[in-house]
Amino acid sequence: MENLYVTSEITLNKTAEKRSSPVPTNTEFFSYDQRVAKKTINFQFKGEPLDLSEANVILGFDFVTAGQSVIFESADESIVIEDPAAGKVNVMLPNDIYAYSGSVIIYVFVEFSNGQSLDYPAFSTEFQESWIDQDLEEMAQFYVKRFEDLRNLVLEQASGIDHDLTEFENRIEQIESDLAAFDIDSLAKEIEEEIRKTVEGRLSDIEKRLEAADFVTEENVDQSLEKFMFGVPLVREPLLDLTGKIRASFVENVHRAGGVLTTSLPSSAAGGTEITQAQYNRIATNDGLDTSISSSTANGRMQVVFTWDILGDMKRRFPELFTFFSPKTVQEELAVIQHFVKNIQFTAFAHINSNTSYPIIGYRRMPDNTGFNWEEMASHESTFNDQLTFPIELITNPAIPAHVGKAAVVLRGPERQATNQSAIRVAYAKVDYTVAFSLDKLFIPKMINQMSNSTIDMFNHLAQRVNELEMKG
């Protein structure tokens, strides 16, 4: 039979005028409306139909009272662009995802291949749980045909009460008999013995745990500080990812990711259009969930550019280091961390969004940071989020000060096919590096009496900081 749809249509117009959001639609859908609840959205820009030929439409469904949300994109075909020239889009509403009743706010975004994007007014609808999906109690069965039936029922219940009273009296007599024979002293001894065994068992367990524990003692700290004073490095291994990243902000997280479709490798270490907030949220944690980063541009290779601000991370983690050396320029800041930062490793879990095996290639930016100077490092052709891991280097070229102290990576897909946008799916990305502090790198005086009072104070502060770090483990 022909498919049936319960269709609701809305027109969204993007202007500079202040908007009322969310826009009420006075629509209601039920949980038993399986695969029939369809929403049609007509996109306009300043009153004219919006051409969606080169666009990715994103809808975010916020289940308000449940504290849950889900994101649909036309890039992964969960949204159908029915008529691109007319700006007409269809989406099947996820009314069957949750046993949910209440308001749903639908947030609307449009991304274009040239890097532009639009935030349209949100609109609301109502989801209701169908009667058949509810937990319904069975109706009590109770019926009396005549008064005699009621009388017989009462007599029957009275007879049962007499029997229950007899049983109750017998039970009381048994309890009284048991109490008379009850040995309180014996019970107290049994309880005391049980408590003793339990306590001894717990103490034994605690002793075993204490023996196996690796405690940081004052002696350990003294030994570590002594080693540090005589040149043994104090090693830390920070991990960088996109946790807490807010799009277009470097306050919460100093790193960046962008997507671009070009025929050649990007010319910039921070290339491409910055990915959306939803995409940042997906790749921030290694939880198995991924996101599609794509473009509908006609020709080229899809590429994802990660820019990791190692210098910025060091300044946040170890501010005392920069206070100690007091660098005046970004080049001097770079010179400070180059003594301590080692073994920078990039890792990504990603693949090409296709059932056919296509190579995904990882490149690192070279330190000179000029033109298209990237070095191929690793690749795979898996159809799932396989791992790419390789070393990366700090950018040192002062010609672009904003990139100094950062490390950049490109994940590159194959040539775009007519039936495949060569989208790259990314589940997680991170950088690990090693920081090795040693006293010979921090301060090597010619003579001890050449130290100024401020330098001695700074040295004492540093020793105190090392002590605190060792105490924290």
Predicted confidence at residue 177, as pLDDT, reads 75
User: What DSSP letter does each residue of 347-358 carry, written as one string?
Assistant: EEEEEESSSS--
From CA 272, how far away is CA 258, in angstroms rounded?
5
Task: Tell me how many domains the chain contains.
Answer: 3
Q: Give the pLDDT confidence score for residue 57 in this predicted structure.
A: 93
| pTM listed for this prediction | 0.50
Task: Specify the amino acid at residue 174.
Answer: Q
What is the number of alpha carbons within 13 Å of residue 181 lying toward its C-beta? 5
Tell me the C-alpha distance between 239 and 426, whole Å: 18
Q: For the chain (length 473 residues), average pLDDT per consecutive 10?
A: 80 86 85 81 93 92 84 86 92 72 90 91 87 58 50 66 71 74 71 79 72 57 54 82 94 94 89 92 93 81 95 93 88 90 96 88 95 94 94 94 95 75 89 85 43 53 63 59
Residues 291, 362 within the same domain: yes
How far are the Cα atoms of 100, 324, 409 from residue 258, in angstroms, in the given order? 36, 35, 11
Closest CA to 124 of 171, 61, 79: 61
Identify whether residues 170 and 116 lie together within a single domain.
no
CB crowding 461-471: b at 16 or more within 10 Å, else e: ebeeebbeebe
User: CATH number for the domain including 116?
Assistant: 2.60.40.3350
Domain housing 74: 6-133
State the Cα–Cα distance between residues 438 and 415, nearest whole angstrom.
Answer: 48
Residue 61: per-residue pLDDT: 87
Q: Are residues 389 and 241 in the same domain?
A: yes
312 in the same domain as 282:
yes
Query: Do 266 and 124 belong to one domain?
Result: no
Q: What is the DSSP string of 404-460?
A: TTEEEEEEEEEEPBTTB---EEEEEEEEEEEEEE-HHHH---SSGGG--HHHHHHHH
> Which among 395, 303, 306 is positioned nearest to 347, based on CA atoms?
306
Beta-strand pair 37-45/6-14:
parallel
Residue 448 pLDDT:
36
- Of 111, 133, 155, the residue that ends a domain is 133
Q: Angle at CA 24, nearest 5°, toward 23 and 29?
A: 130
Strands (E), 164-310: 234-236, 239-240, 256-262, 273-274, 291-293, 301-309
User: What's the CA gap between 79 and 76, in Å, rounded?
Assistant: 8
Cα(235)–Cα(220) distance, rounded to whole angstroms?
Answer: 15
